[in-house]
């Protein structure tokens, strides 16, 4: 395109709409329709602006022919609180031409509805001239024409690539009282952020209880490198109220004058819909801002700090089963069960799904547990240690009982493990006995010796019963002898 042509600049400022912003170094950028738009507050002429944008990989001055992009960028600049009100973009009018063109393909600029001349007496000059996109009445976007040698801010665009890999802005979770918070760079929609907090971090999209928590976490938005202007939190408008999705706690519509919580930007919510970000740059301290849930943003996860319990017990068919969260080898687990007057669990058809539910539907999920089966010396059969019963070799697969993964056993893996797959599907297979993992004991009417033969515990009567039997035996022979 002829360098003598007139050029096109753009400014957006909508004061009632919010954005999908991140920071590229110290420069706010916005992601929309697989493009990243970078807002630069440098004061440069159009030629300098184009050179600067080309320093980004596959970058150029922004092309805004799509009305949806124009509206989107207006929201972005509004939340970014820019110090400029006009920004160069990628369009120009060649010298002596009456038509403006986009610089990417030379297409004619046709957005004349938003195009405003300097005045009704405007006479088009022969020299270079540019258009700017600005605002009227604070919320109406308009293009206007100016001398391209003047200095304005600029907006660049480039293809969007997620530059992060699930990393946090800090080296570890941020501890605030009894909670941990993690700020993650990856750009996600609000729903995707909910999923990633749960899937990757076993946490919820962040919830807060007071001003102190938002203040501390907000500080860490700025401390990351690169820093962030804002990030998703777990607030969403649903059923006529703002709520945190992780605990269903309602967020008040107004900021309390005493506690200063919730920290709404204008001390009250201004929208009845969307999702919330925690924003640190638009005010002196972190505030809640409403925006569309479909924006792509970094996000904050949170989870409670609590110690894993030692065990969890449930009664199933009048028998007590105990899931121990302490990881032990199979032999150690066997001894632990014996010490509690029990044995590693015999997982029958009647109890198997209840035990899998116990593994997966409590506060602490478990995916692998030792159970009371052990391979015999020949490597032919697994047997329950409780009663030496052979565990059937059915070949129907894991959808049947017993749910064997494979019925070709290996003496290298003689201890029976139960997995939980797809949340509630049990699987049996042998594992190296030296591996440490959680285990399930069952309480039984029998006591057991601490030795086992080919994985089968030896039953015995309780010691007190043996004592009484010995007395009866003594009395019987005494009477018989007399």
d(CA 245, CA 224): 26
pLDDT at 82: 54
3-state secondary structure of 243: strand
Q: Where are the beta strands (DSSP E) in 51-86?
A: 60-61
CB neighbours of residue 41 within 10 Å = 14
Answer for the pair 288, 265: CB distance below 8 angstroms, yes or no: yes
Residue 226, preceding peptide bond in cis (omega within 30° of 0): yes
pLDDT at 276: 97
pTM over 0.75: no
Answer for the pair 448, 343: CB distance below 8 angstroms, yes or no: yes
All domains of the chain in start order, with CATH: 26-159 (3.10.100.10), 174-304 (3.10.100.10), 311-444 (3.10.100.10)
pLDDT at 146: 76
d(CA 216, CA 208): 11
183, 185, 186, 192: CA torsion to nearest 10: 30
pLDDT of the chain, 482 residues: tens digit per residue: 444 444 444 333 222 233 343 333 446 778 888 888 888 888 899 899 999 999 988 999 999 888 888 888 877 777 665 556 788 888 888 777 777 888 898 888 877 656 655 444 455 666 667 777 776 554 556 777 777 888 888 899 999 876 666 788 898 899 998 899 999 999 899 999 999 999 888 899 999 999 999 999 999 998 876 788 899 999 999 989 999 998 889 999 999 999 999 999 999 998 889 999 999 877 778 999 999 898 889 999 999 886 667 888 999 988 999 999 989 999 999 999 999 899 999 999 999 999 998 888 666 778 899 999 999 999 999 999 999 999 998 767 667 899 998 888 999 999 999 998 776 789 999 999 999 999 999 986 544 444 444 333 444 444 444 454 555 545 554 544 44
3-state secondary structure of 302: strand
pLDDT at 97: 77
pLDDT at 113: 59
Answer for the pair 290, 274: CB distance below 8 angstroms, yes or no: yes
pLDDT at 428: 94
pLDDT at 309: 73
pLDDT at 451: 42
Q: Where are the beta strands (DSSP E) in 45-173?
A: 60-61, 87-93, 101-102, 115-116, 130-136, 140-146, 152-159
The partner residues of 250 in beta bridges, in order of sequence, read 243
């Amino acid at each position: 395109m002829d360098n003598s042509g007139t050029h096109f600049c753009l400014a957006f400022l909508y004061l009632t709409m919010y954005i999908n912003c991140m920071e590229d170094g110290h420069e706010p950028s916005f992601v929309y329709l697989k493009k990243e738009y970078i807002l630069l507050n440098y004061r440069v002429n159009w030629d300098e602006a184009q050179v600067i944008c080309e320093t980004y990989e596959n970058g150029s001055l922004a092309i805004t022919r799509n009305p949806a992009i124009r509206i989107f960028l207006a929201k972005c600049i509004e939340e970014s609180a820019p110090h400029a009100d006009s920004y160069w973009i990628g369009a120009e009018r060649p010298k002596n031409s009456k038509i403006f063109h986009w610089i990417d393909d030379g297409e004619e600029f046709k957005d004349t509805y938003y195009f405003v001349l300097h005045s009704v007496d405007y006479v088009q000059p022969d020299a270079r001239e540019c258009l700017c996109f600005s605002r009227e009445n604070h919320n109406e976007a308009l293009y206007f024409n100016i001398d391209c040698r003047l200095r304005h801010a600029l907006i660049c665009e480039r293809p969007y690539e997620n530059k992060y890999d699930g990393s946090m802005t800090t080296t570890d979770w941020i501890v605030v009282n009894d909670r941990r918070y993690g700020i993650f760079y990856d750009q996600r929609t609000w729903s995707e952020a909910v999923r990633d907090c749960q899937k990757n971090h076993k946490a919820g999209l962040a919830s807060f209880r007071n001003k102190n928590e938002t203040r501390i976490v907000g500080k860490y938005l700025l401390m990351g490198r690169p820093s962030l202007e804002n990030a998703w939190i777990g607030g969403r408008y649903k059923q006529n109220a703002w709520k945190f999705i992780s605990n269903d706690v309602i967020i008040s519509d107004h900021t309390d004058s005493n506690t200063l919580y919730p920290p709404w930007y204008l001390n009250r919510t201004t929208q009845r819909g969307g999702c919330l970000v925690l924003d640190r740059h638009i005010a002196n301290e972190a505030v809640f801002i409403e925006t569309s849930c479909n924006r792509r943003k970094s996000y904050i996860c949170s989870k409670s700090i609590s110690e894993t319990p030692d065990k969890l017990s449930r009664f199933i068919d009048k028998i007590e089963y105990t899931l121990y969260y302490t990881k032990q080898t199979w032999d150690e687990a066997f001894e632990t069960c014996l010490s509690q007057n029990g044995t590693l669990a015999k997982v029958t058809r009647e109890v198997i799904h209840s035990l899998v539910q116990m593994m997966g539907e409590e506060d602490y999920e478990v995916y692998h547990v030792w159970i009371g089966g052990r391979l015999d010396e020949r490597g032919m059969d697994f047997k329950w240690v409780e009663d030496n019963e052979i565990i059937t070799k059915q070949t129907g697969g894991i959808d049947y009982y017993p749910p064997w993964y494979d019925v070709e056993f290996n003496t290298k893996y003689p201890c029976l493990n139960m997995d939980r797959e797809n949340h509630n599907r049990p699987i049996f297979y042998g594992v190296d006995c030296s591996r440490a993992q959680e285990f399930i004991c069952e309480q039984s009417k029998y006591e057991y010796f601490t030795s086992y033969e080919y994985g089968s515990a030896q039953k015995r009567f309780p010691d007190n019963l043996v004592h009484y039997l010995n007395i009866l035996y003594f009395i019987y022979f005494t009477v018989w002898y007399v």
